[in-house]
Amino acid sequence: MGSPLKSLVHDDDRYQRSFHLFLERSSEHQCMRDFIHNKLPDILSSIGDGKSHLNVIGVGSGAGEIDLEMLNELHKKHPGVTVDNEVVEPSSQQLHNYKVLVSQKPELNYIKFTWNKMTASEFEEHWKLSKTTQKADFIHMIQMLYYVKDPGATISFFQSLLDKNGKLLIILVSGESGWGKLWRKYRNELCNTEISQCVTTGDIKSLLDSKGVRYQSFDLPSQMDITECFTEGDEKGELLLDFLTEVLDFNKTASPELKDGVLELLRHPDCSTESEGRVIFNNNLGVIVIDKPH
């Protein structure tokens, strides 16, 4: 029996609204910024091998706020270097927001932006067809491996584009986060295998270990206030539930059993802590950094 639940990504407008609410309710971007300012500079210091020009690829760059923070750290580590930045993003709304952001920052004139309105797999096809031999010094895939058919193959492809001393940076939710617990229990009901998958840094590490790929990993503690999810009929609660389950109109379309089960698990100490009447979901992220294959 096919699942009647539709994936949230089918409705870009609702997806963007639920995503923005998620960013408001969580420390997601803050914990990424802490990592970018404190840990990323060391990772970036060895790339480029003294070249005066660097190639960067952002896969699933969204509206670009996090990209620009990383490019800023890159610039500090390698001042005077010019950058080619390939932006890969399927949402035209997000690409537009990114372009607007760049247009407000004339100081980014050392970067040449190439806008690719496409998915990671479309970009892979486009890259192979162009038969380019160009390599990349830094590739980042932040919170996007949920949306590819075969995360392992996608990682292998982008790793193959790395130049000498190049780095591939992946950020996903941690296997130990509330997301990991939710997905382990309801993978079959919630994970729309066609479009989005329940993949955590734990899964990626197992995959890399099985292939003997060396990597560095970092944990990013993060949390998210999901209190509104437990108020029946609360509009913001419903948007957050859609985001948590990746299901469009979860509240209206899920069976009562699935809804009760998901809400019960979200409140469970495995996923959340309760303090001062708020329910705080474990939104921990993990970072994986991979080098050029030897």
Annotated binding site: 28, 283
Q: Identify the three-state secondary structure at position 215.
A: strand
* Alpha carbons 119 and 14: distance in angstroms, whole number: 19
* Alpha carbons 48 and 54: distance in angstroms, whole number: 6
| Residue numbers belonging to the annotated binding site for substrate | 28, 283
Query: 235-245 and 12-25 helices cross at what angle (nearest 10)?
Result: 100
Query: Are the C-beta atoms of residues 15 and 109 closer than 8 Å to each other?
Result: no
Rounded to 5 degrees, what are φ and ψ at 149? -65, -40
Cα angle 165, 170, 176 (rounded to 5 degrees) comes to 135
* Alpha carbons 47 and 31: distance in angstroms, whole number: 23
